[in-house]
A and B are shown apart, each in its own frame.
Chain A
């Protein structure tokens, strides 16, 4: 790995973005990096945009990633992915969950929800390293939609390996150990499967 790796996570309140970023920062620490995380969310209990910054590196100072310096986008929702595109570095890695959560401003007809075509075009211009995934569909097959965030983490782990953006010692087991420590014991098996399914989905 070169210097630092900056992850930008974006989703909607209730999607498990915070848990995912919690896992990600602890995976960084477990892999021997300095790691920092910053949650950026406003006043909404539910349904607002949630972004989280996670940074790994030999030395990490700022917990925040400056706009234009994010290396990896993990987007839990399509509209939130688009909202973050201008915070990315050119040729960033992007993993986008094809979930659509219409905000009230779109429901009311004030503004249109962007089309998939817009999403694909914009990200194709940004980078060739863009992957689309349907985390909810995969999690649904495993019997629990809420595991979609761990599906995404699984996919992310595989993409980082493929891009050789991480050290070899960052094995799936490191991720699974952190995930296991973060979820209720009764959901450990489900989350293992979700992580594995995510890895396979981007293979």
Chain B
């Protein structure tokens, strides 16, 4: 049966067909839909872990127990999980172990565009790269086979364009896990990485990667597609598609296994063509390895080292380098449209994060942020995020700045899910080494930005089962924070009062702002748009400072001030009443019946 599947759906299907027993992940664009889709198959186990390191340890545990385990993450997740990734390489395993990394060339939704193939080389771990959805599915199976054949973790590297593009996939049969689980291994020489054992394992993994290098020569996903002798292209991943489209005549060596590389195959290919180039997104990973073999090759001197490729990027780069004639250039229409207003992502109407940032902006304190929807509070008029590097970073950065004598009181903001991810150890540090940092945990009762995934605070698992809710306030108190309170997310006065108090303290403090995401289905049911009483509004502009997309400037001007009055777009307004609270002239009436705000 043929089905149109996105790369992520295809990976999920491949996991099911391959008989994965344990799947663990932390949500992150562009990888999130892999586990969401896998969890829909019957009788599977899949979970959201609090972070990627835990997810990899969980998959390793399953593989040590002799079952197929998989951990899924976006590229930067592998930074968090690197420690576990590296020891798994040293120990090997009993059942198959696959780690999926979804890299994000062009940084559609990421803080960097690191190329995780380098992790494979670093860890002596084989790396597979599919070029479409069919291969995404097939390579999950191939990855488990490789893992079990060579006693190694395998890295399956996807990119945004593989994850989020759809192509036809021939569905296969499931290989169900066989037999009863075996007894957990008692093999300390292999699984206890004390120096004495690790010293003996290192040569083993060097031999393993050498054996894989030999295997690569005959691996079916490495394939030679003969063409003209004039140009030979080594390529991988989605770049293969652009190579085929732009250079239909060329000879192509398509590598499905991009680490280790099949040296003999590459040499044979190189001598069969007059000019050898590599087309690969991001780092010159293959290119440099080929050059180290002593083979003349071009790559990043022709194609960009940054960003995502597409047929145009590849074609125009090739024209500039003289690989294609000037006539291959495709002119753009170059229509003069005039300046077009942008549509930058903004906090949604009714977003429960908005009041906190409105107050933080008023207080003019430095705010050390984290990764999530709330990072969007960096945009004017809220302008209340001053640093954001990675998940869990803000609390540590605030502490370090305070210890360095930064003259202002630092506020760290973090989400509920990111607090569980890597916020907790940083907060322990604030308590233990004592800094007067105020941490605001924006608890919107869900993992928001990636599209509503459960987390340890929501009381529900990925498989939809009810579970223990990890409660933030008792947790924070147990860490030893004396100044803690929870306030409803739409209570502007309570947030202002608490923050004003906390930023005067010489002690660590935590404010937990609780209000479910406005886009959750049960919250949508409570939406009731507000309206502006034009007679009361004098165009004071205070409500515009909320940066709410539902509050518009009316065409009606106030007679005295000659400033536009406020107007609420009823199709966008959720009735969160934040504007109603801050309006000094009662021009925005509250809802007749109080619902929602602060309710859980």
In the bound complex, residues from chain A placing their C-beta under 8 Å from that of B75 are: none
Please pick, from A79, A87, A89, A108, the residue contacting B340 in the complex, using a CB distance under 8 A. Answer: A79
A49 contacts B343, C-beta separation under 8 Å = yes
Confirm or deny: A98 has a beta carbon within 8 angstroms of a beta carbon on chain B.
Answer: no
Q: Is A129 an interface position by the 8 A CB rule? A: no
Which chain B positions have C-beta within 8 A of A83?
337, 340
**Docked pose: A113 CA to B336 CA in angstroms:** 15
Q: Could you say which residues of chain B place their CB within 8 Å of the CB of A62?
A: 238, 241-242, 245, 310-311
Bound CA span A171–B333, Å: 32
Q: Across the interface, name the chain B residue whose C-beta is closest to A69.
A: B330
When C-beta atoms are compared, the residue in chain A nearest to B448 turns out to be A45
Pick the most buried of A12, A35, A68: most chain B CB atoms within 10 A of its CB: A68
**Contact yes or no, A37 B344, CB < 8 A:** no
Q: Which residues on A sit within 8 Å (CB–CB) of B534?
A: none
Taking a contact as CB atoms closer than 8 A, the residue among A65, A106, A125 that contacts B341 in the complex is: A106
Q: Mark A37-76, 1 if CB is under 8 A from B, else 0.
A: 1111111111111000000000011111111110000000
Q: Do B164 and A107 have beta carbons less than 8 Å apart? A: no
| B-chain residues with CB within 8 Å of residue A88 when the two chains form the complex | 333
Known: A37-B165, A46-B348, A108-B544. A68 touches B341 (CB 8 A): no
The yes or no answer to A185 lying at the interface (CB within 8 A) is no
Instruction: Label chain B's interface by main secondary structure.
Output: loop
The reply to whether A126 and B333 contact each other, CB–CB distance below 8 Å, is yes
A190 cross-chain contacts in B, Cβ below 8 A:
none
Q: A37-B166, A103-B342, A104-B346 are in contact. Are A68 and B332 (CB under 8 A)?
A: yes
Contacts of B167 in A (CB 8 A): 34-37, 60, 63
**Shortest Cβ distance from residue A12 to the other chain B in the assembled complex, whole angstroms:** 7
Interface centre among B340, B342, B449, B549 (most CB of A within 10 A): B340
Given A66-B330, A68-B333, verify A107-B340 contact (CB < 8 Å). Answer: no
B333 touches A61 (CB 8 A): no
Q: Which range holds the interface residue count of chain B?
A: 35 or more
**Per-position contact with A for B243-256: 1 when CB-CB < 8 Å, else 0?**
01100000000000
B449 and A63 contacting across the interface, CB-CB below 8 Å: no
Cβ of B341 and Cβ of A66 under 8 Å apart?
no
Q: Do residues B343 and A12 form an inter-chain contact, with CB atoms below 8 A?
A: yes
Q: Which of B29, B331, B336, B373 lies at the interface centre, i.e. has the most chain A CB atoms within 10 A of its CB?
A: B336
Q: Which interface residue of A36, A66, A113, A126 has the most chain B CB atoms within 10 A? A: A66
**Contacts A82-B340, A86-B332, A122-B337; is A66 near B29 (CB within 8 Å)?**
no
Q: Which residue of B lies closest to A33 (CB)?
A: B168
Smallest CB gap from A109: residue in B: B553
Q: Which residue of A lies closest to B168 (CB)?
A: A29
Quick check: A64 and B337 within 8 Å, CB to CB? no
Grouping DSSP codes into helix (H, G, I), strand (E, B) and loop, the A interface class, with mixed when no group exceeds half, is mixed
**Cβ-based interface call for A16 (8 A):** no
Task: With A67-B332, A108-B544 as known contacts, state yes or no: A103 contacts B341, CB within 8 Å.
Answer: yes
Please provide the chain A residues from 91 to 148 with a CB less than 8 Å away from any CB of chain B in the complex.
102-114, 118, 122, 125-126
B334 within 8 A of A: yes
Of the candidates B165, B334, B345, B451, the one whose C-beta lies within 8 Å of that of A36 is B165
A112 touches B341 (CB 8 A): yes
* Contact between A45 and B332, CB atoms less than 8 A apart: no
The distance from the CB of A169 to the nearest CB of chain B, in whole angstroms, is 18
How far is A152 from B392 in the complex, measured between Cα atoms in Å?
44
Contacts of B108 in A (CB 8 A): 40-43
* Residues on the B chain within 8 Å of A118, using CB: 337-338
Interface residues of B in 295-345 (CB under 8 A from A): 310-313, 315, 330-345
Contact with A along B218-240 (1 / 0, CB 8 A): 00000000000000000000100
C-alpha spacing A66/B132, complex, angstroms: 18
Task: Decide: B338 and A114 in contact? CB cutoff 8 A.
Answer: yes
Selected contact of B164 from candidates A25, A39, A114, CB within 8 Å = A39
- Check if A156 is an interface residue, CB within 8 A of chain B: no
In angstroms, Cα B242 to Cα A35, docked, is 15
Q: Name the interface residues of B556-593: CB closer than 8 Å to any CB of A.
A: none
Using a CB-CB cutoff of 8 Å, which residues 12-52 of chain B contact chain A?
Answer: 29
Asked whether any CB of chain A lies closer than 8 Å to the CB of B353, the reply is no
A157 within 8 A of B: no
Instruction: Report the minimum CB–CB distance from B349 to chain A (whole Å).
Output: 8
Question: Is A45 within 8 A of B165, CB to CB?
Answer: no
Cα–Cα, bound, A95→B21 (Å): 48
Q: When the two chains form their complex, are residues B343 and A67 in contact, meaning their CB atoms are under 8 A apart?
A: no
Chain B residues near A38 (CB, 8 Å)?
161, 164-166
B337 contacts which chain A residues (CB < 8 A)? 82-83, 85-86, 114, 118, 122
Q: Mark B500-528, 1 if CB is under 8 A from A, else 0.
A: 00000000000000000001000000000
Residues of chain B in range 139-172 having any CB-CB distance to chain A below 8 Å: 161, 164-168
In the complex, A69 Cα to B344 Cα: how many Å? 26
Which of A42, A46, A49 lies at the interface centre, i.e. has the most chain B CB atoms within 10 A of its CB?
A: A46
Closest A residue by C-beta to B239: A62
Chain B residues with CB under 8 A of A69: 311-312, 330
Contact partner of B238 among A35, A46, A63, A68, CB < 8 A?
Answer: A63
Knowing that A38-B161, A45-B519 are A-B contacts, what are 14 other residue pairs whose CB atoms are under 8 Å apart, sorted by A's residue number? A12-B343, A26-B4, A34-B168, A35-B168, A39-B164, A40-B164, A45-B449, A48-B343, A102-B552, A103-B343, A108-B544, A110-B341, A111-B341, A114-B337
Chain A residues within CB distance 8 Å of chain B: 12, 22, 25-26, 29, 34-49, 60-69, 79, 82-83, 85-90, 102-114, 118, 122, 125-126
- 5 inter-chain pairs at a CB distance below 8 angstroms, sorted by A residue, are A38-B164, A47-B348, A85-B335, A103-B341, A126-B335
Residues of B participating in the A interface, judged by any CB pair closer than 8 Å: 2, 4, 29, 108-109, 132, 161, 164-168, 238, 241-242, 244-245, 310-313, 315, 330-346, 348, 373, 376, 448-449, 451, 519, 544, 547, 549, 552-553
Q: Rank and list the top 6 A-B pairs by shortest CB-CB distance, nearest first.
A: A66-B312, A44-B345, A63-B165, A66-B311, A111-B341, A38-B165
